[in-house]
Protein backbone atom coordinates (compact mmCIF):
# COMPACT_ATOMS: atom_id res chain seq x y z
CA UNK A 1 0.00 0.00 0.00
CA UNK A 2 1.55 3.28 -1.09
CA UNK A 3 0.58 6.42 0.79
CA UNK A 4 1.03 10.06 -0.16
CA UNK A 5 3.70 12.29 1.42
CA UNK A 6 1.07 14.31 3.31
CA UNK A 7 -0.09 11.09 5.02
CA UNK A 8 3.34 10.50 6.59
CA UNK A 9 3.18 10.59 10.38
CA UNK A 10 5.69 11.78 12.99
CA UNK A 11 7.81 8.93 14.29
CA UNK A 12 8.05 7.04 11.01
CA UNK A 13 11.56 5.96 9.98
CA UNK A 14 13.23 7.50 6.92
CA UNK A 15 15.71 5.58 4.73
CA UNK A 16 17.96 6.69 1.89
CA UNK A 17 18.08 4.99 -1.50
CA UNK A 18 21.20 3.19 -0.25
CA UNK A 19 19.15 1.45 2.46
CA UNK A 20 20.76 3.46 5.27
CA UNK A 21 18.52 4.81 8.04
CA UNK A 22 18.51 8.61 8.05
CA UNK A 23 16.25 9.43 10.98
CA UNK A 24 12.70 9.92 12.19
CA UNK A 25 9.91 12.05 10.73
CA UNK A 26 9.15 15.17 12.79
CA UNK A 27 6.50 16.57 10.45
CA UNK A 28 5.26 16.28 6.86
CA UNK A 29 3.20 18.25 4.38
CA UNK A 30 2.81 18.48 0.60
CA UNK A 31 6.15 20.31 0.23
CA UNK A 32 8.23 17.68 2.04
CA UNK A 33 9.17 16.05 5.30
CA UNK A 34 11.17 17.26 8.29
CA UNK A 35 13.51 14.54 9.58
CA UNK A 36 15.39 14.39 12.89
CA UNK A 37 18.78 12.76 12.56
CA UNK A 38 19.92 11.06 15.72
CA UNK A 39 23.37 10.60 17.12
CA UNK A 40 25.86 12.85 18.83
CA UNK A 41 25.27 15.68 16.35
CA UNK A 42 21.48 15.46 16.28
CA UNK A 43 19.82 17.92 13.93
CA UNK A 44 16.80 18.27 11.71
CA UNK A 45 16.83 18.33 7.92
CA UNK A 46 14.09 19.04 5.41
CA UNK A 47 13.62 16.64 2.50
CA UNK A 48 11.59 17.96 -0.45
CA UNK A 49 8.59 15.86 -1.45
CA UNK A 50 10.25 15.37 -4.86
CA UNK A 51 12.92 13.25 -3.13
CA UNK A 52 10.41 10.85 -1.57
CA UNK A 53 10.41 7.61 -3.59
CA UNK A 54 8.01 5.42 -1.59
CA UNK A 55 5.83 5.70 1.49
CA UNK A 56 4.41 2.79 3.45
CA UNK A 57 2.98 2.80 6.95
CA UNK A 58 5.89 3.43 9.33
CA UNK A 59 8.52 3.79 6.58
CA UNK A 60 9.61 6.47 4.12
CA UNK A 61 12.13 5.72 1.37
CA UNK A 62 13.94 8.48 -0.46
CA UNK A 63 15.29 8.64 -4.01
CA UNK A 64 18.56 10.08 -2.64
CA UNK A 65 21.23 8.49 -0.47
CA UNK A 66 21.73 9.13 3.23
CA UNK A 67 24.82 11.22 2.45
CA UNK A 68 22.89 13.36 -0.06
CA UNK A 69 20.05 13.89 2.43
CA UNK A 70 22.44 14.84 5.22
CA UNK A 71 24.18 17.32 2.93
CA UNK A 72 20.97 19.31 2.54
CA UNK A 73 21.01 22.69 4.22
CA UNK A 74 18.11 24.66 5.69
pLDDT of residue 42: 81
Domain residue ranges in the chain: 5-70
At 6-64, the pLDDT tens digits run: 789 999 999 999 999 999 999 999 899 999 987 777 889 999 999 999 999 999 999 99
Coil, strand or helix at 10: coil
Backbone CA torsion sign across 34, 22, 19, 68? positive
Q: What is the CATH number of domain 5-70?
A: 2.30.30.240
Q: Are 65 and 18 in contact (CB under 8 A)?
A: yes
Q: Is the pLDDT of residue 73 over 60?
A: no
Q: What angle do CA 43, 10, 5 make, to 5 degrees?
A: 100
Amino acid sequence: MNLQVEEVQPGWTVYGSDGQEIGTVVSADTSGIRVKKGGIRSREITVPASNVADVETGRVELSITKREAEASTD
